[in-house]
């Protein structure tokens, strides 16, 4: 029994064992080989943390990755060896309090952050940028009118749930399919379709669905209808078949779905007006992106089965390299494709968002100093910011639990960090119960990776080695995708 749930019923609606390729021979060089014909990422190895470039010789081709997380956006500019030439970050504009459902506020903040970050790149580097890729939060969905450019609906954020659409989605998809979660992209699309009367009459004729990273990339290249198979997973794309299934393409709203390419595939060159305004080369290629936790996985540079990356950002997302594909919406478990292996995992709503609500980053550092990670905290919380959990319990109504609060903030923080570690441990043990490869080592990405006391707590609770990834920023993983796309620039599809 895991999480007190009865797993005696075979939960797997998909179970595939792929001939596991031998992992990459070792970390030597920053490169992701171009997608194989079946559009899979094959991650070669990456040079042992080439760190920052020395002088960034003028004219060296550079590759720009931009990460759009929950609390802010970051960029990383690397060269062909993976050395970082420049990096930076921007919080989203404080302005309008962006609550769930405040669509206009979010979209304008992301657009503002995108062009602020491009403007933050040293002008001397910009002409050398050969390609750009962007990662965003998964299942964050926008519906855009491709004729008027108007935002018809959304953004619907990654953790927003649309249970009204679940019965319709469950009636067409296989049992326990990834889309059968109230926060899936397909539930967002179907909910909008049903409430707007089939696309809102005339305006719906030109409606297109875009994920957050698709929309941000579109601001740079101006072409509609292109996404990647990581972002498209939660709208129903099957990365194994490299196609949308017929149960989806037969739906009236299927015309809104984007075409799907591998992450890091070239789309088009940057629009002339953007090139002119920011001093970018007219040869700079915009490439398909991925989700933020996949980008963090790519940044960590591990590919061996049993290795995993936990992204400790505003949320907790885990990605385990598994020889076996596992998908089960009952627990919020799904598999992203990585070469001949699978990235099995899920994303919990617990994570840093609660920490940020309670403590400043400086307070986190100061309080963590007094935590003894060897001592188990007796406090048992479920640190959600608001109702709703996706994984390892898929319950849109699940309530936060952050009481009783002790007098000591050190004890309170210890209890929260340990409780998040317990959710992480339940997540990995659930993946094992469902048939995934057992976790042997965990690398950490995201803001929480810098907390060594938390790392030690997690290592005690998980029972496997836990360490900070060499590169903890998803933006670095997105830059690796840009590097891959630059090598395939001739594949630009005239769309
Ligand atoms: N020293 C620390 N210990 C634990 N968590 C931290 C620490 N510093 C920052 N964080 C948390 O990291 C999170 C930000 O990480 P980040 O990867 O930028 O998140 P996201 O991309 O989801 O916005 C914040 O929620 C913050 O509370
Ligand atoms: O929690 C999230 C935001 O940070 C996303 O859900 C995260 O991207 C996980 O989704 P995926 O596993 O598809 O990458």
pLDDT in tens, the chain (495 residues): 333 333 333 333 344 444 333 333 333 344 344 333 333 334 433 444 566 665 545 679 999 999 999 989 999 999 999 999 999 999 998 654 455 556 668 999 999 999 999 999 999 999 999 999 999 999 999 999 988 888 898 899 999 999 999 999 999 999 999 999 999 999 999 999 999 877 655 556 789 999 999 999 999 999 988 999 999 999 999 999 999 999 999 999 999 999 999 999 999 999 999 999 999 999 999 999 999 999 999 999 999 999 999 999 999 999 999 999 999 999 999 999 976 789 999 999 999 999 999 999 999 999 999 999 999 999 999 999 999 999 999 999 999 999 999 999 999 999 999 999 999 999 999 999 999 999 999 999 999 999 999 999 999 999 999 999 999 999 999 999 999 999 887 777 554
Whether residue 159 has its Cβ less than 6 Å from ligand 1: no
Q: What's the CA-to-centroid distance between 198 and ligand 1, angstroms?
A: 40
From the CA of 192, how far away is ligand 1's center (Å)? 32
Locate the ligand 1 atom nearest the alpha carbon of residue 89 and give its number. Answer: 18
Cα 299 from Cα 312, distance rounded (Å) = 14
- Distance (Å) from CA 291 to ligand 2 centroid: 6
SS (H, E, C) 294-356: HHHHHHHCCCCCCEEEEEECCCEEEEEEECEEEEEHHHCEEEEEECCEEEEEEEECCCHHHHH
CA 414/CA 370 separation, integer angstroms: 9
User: Burial letters for 109-136: b for 16+ Cβ neighbours within 10 Å, e otherwise?
Assistant: bbeebbeebbeebeeebbbbbbbbbbbb
315 Cα nearest atom in ligand 2: 1
Q: Strand, coil or helix: what is 102? A: coil
**Do 318 and 11 meet the contact criterion of CB atoms below 8 Å apart?**
no
Write down the pTM of the prediction.
Answer: 0.88
For ligand 1, whether the C-beta of 70 sits within 6 Å is: yes
Domain 303-469 = CATH 3.20.20.70: no
Return d(Cα 314, Cα 8) in angstroms, integer.
33
Q: How far apart are CA 456 and CA 439, in angstroms?
A: 17
Q: What 8-state DSSP symbol labels residue 139?
A: T
Is 353 near ligand 1, meaning CB less than 6 Å away?
yes
Task: Give pLDDT, residue 493.
Answer: 58
DSSP state at residue 431: H
Ligand number nearest CA of 135 is: 2
Residue from 74, 315, 352, 365 whose mutation best tests the ligand 1 pocket (most atoms within 8 A of CB) = 352
Choice from 214, 232, 347 to test ligand 2 binding pocket (greatest atom count within 8 A of CB): 347
Q: Which residues, including other chains, have CB under 8 Å from residue 10's CB and lie 6 or more apart? A: none
For the chain, give the number of residues.
495
Atom of ligand 1 nearest to the CA of 67: 21
Q: Which ligand is nearest to the CA of 336?
A: 2
Ligand nearest to the CA of 413: 1
Q: Are 83 and 132 in contact (CB under 8 A)?
A: no
Cα(58) to ligand 1 centroid in Å equals: 34
3-state secondary structure of 226: strand
Parts of the chain belonging to CATH 3.30.420.40: 62-293+476-494, 303-469
> Residue 71: CB within 6 Å of ligand 1?
yes
Q: Measured in angstroms, how far is the CA atom of residue 312 from the centroid of ligand 1?
A: 7
Atom of ligand 2 nearest to the CA of 234: 13
For residue 441, give both structure tokens.
Answer: 């080592």
Pocket lining: 294 vs ligand 2, CB cutoff 6 Å? yes
Residue in 113, 350, 419, 447 to alter for ligand 1 test, most ligand atoms within 8 A of Cβ: 447
What is the dotted CATH code of the domain comprising 62-293+476-494? Answer: 3.30.420.40
**What is the distance in A from the centroid of ligand 2 to the CA of 136?**
8
Residues 38 and 32: their CA atoms lie apart, in Å, by 15
From the CA of 157, which ligand is nearest? 2
Ligand 2: residue whose CA is nearest its atom 9: 347
**Integer angstrom CA distances of residue 225 from 84, 94, 127, 309, 408:** 31, 30, 27, 30, 52
- CA of 444, nearest ligand number: 1
């Amino acid at each position: 029994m895991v999480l007190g749930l009865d797993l005696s019923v075979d939960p797997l609606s998909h179970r595939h064992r792929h001939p596991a390729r031998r992992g990459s021979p070792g970390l030597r060089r920053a490169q992701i080989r171009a997608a194989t014909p079946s559009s899979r990422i094959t991650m070669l190895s990456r040079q042992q943390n080439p760190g920052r470039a020395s002088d960034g010789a003028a004219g060296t081709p550079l590759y720009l990755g931009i990460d759009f997380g929950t609390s802010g956006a970051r960029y990383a500019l690397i060269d062909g060896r993976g050395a970082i030439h420049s990096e930076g970050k921007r919080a989203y504009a404080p302005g309008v309090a962006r609550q769930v459902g405040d669509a206009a506020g979010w979209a304008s903040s992301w657009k503002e952050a995108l062009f602020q970050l491009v403007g933050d790149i040293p002008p001397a580097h910009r002409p050398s940028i050969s390609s750009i890729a962007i990662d965003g939060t998964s299942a964050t969905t926008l519906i855009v009118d491709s004729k008027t450019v108007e935002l018809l609906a959304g953004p619907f954020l990654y953790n927003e749930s649309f249970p009204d659409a679940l019965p319709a989605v469950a009636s067409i998809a296989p049992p326990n399919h990834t889309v059968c979660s109230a926060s899936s992209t397909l539930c967002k699309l179907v909910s909008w379709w049903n409430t707007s009367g089939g696309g809102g009459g005339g305006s719906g004729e030109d409606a297109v669905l875009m994920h957050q990273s698709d929309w941000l990339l579109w601001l740079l290249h101006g072409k509609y209808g292109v996404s990647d198979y990581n972002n498209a997973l939660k709208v129903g794309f099957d990365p194994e078949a490299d196609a949308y299934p017929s149960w989806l393409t037969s739906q009236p709203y299927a015309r809104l779905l984007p075409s799907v390419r591998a992450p890091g595939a070239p789309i088009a060159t940057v629009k002339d007006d953007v090139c002119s305004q920011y001093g970018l080369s007219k040869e700079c290629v915009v490439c398909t992106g991925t989700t933020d936790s996949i980008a963090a996985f790519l940044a960590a540079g591990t590919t061996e089965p049993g290795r995993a990356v936990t992204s400790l950002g505003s949320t907790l997302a885990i990605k385990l390299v598994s020889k076996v594909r596992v998908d089960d919406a009952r627990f919020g478990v799904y598999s992203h494709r990585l070469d001949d292996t699978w990235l099995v995992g899920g994303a919990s709503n617990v994570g840093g968002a609660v920490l940020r609500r309670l403590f400043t980053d400086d307070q986190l550092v100061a309080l963590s100093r007094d935590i003894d990670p060897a001592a188990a905290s007796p406090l048992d919380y479920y640190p959600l910011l608001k109702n709703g959990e996706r994984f390892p319990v898929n319950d849109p109504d699940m309530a936060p639990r952050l009481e009783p609060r002790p007098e000591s903030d050190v004890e309170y923080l210890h209890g929260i960090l340990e409780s998040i570690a317990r959710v992480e441990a339940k997540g990995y043990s659930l993946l094992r119960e469902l048939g995934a490869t057992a976790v042997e080592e965990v690398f950490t990405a995201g803001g929480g990776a810098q907390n060594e006391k938390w790392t030690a707590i997690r290592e005690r609770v998980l029972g496997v080695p836990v360490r900070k990834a060499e590169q903890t920023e998803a933006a670095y993983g997105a830059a690796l995708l840009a590097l891959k796309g630059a090598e395939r620039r001739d594949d630009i599809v005239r769309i």
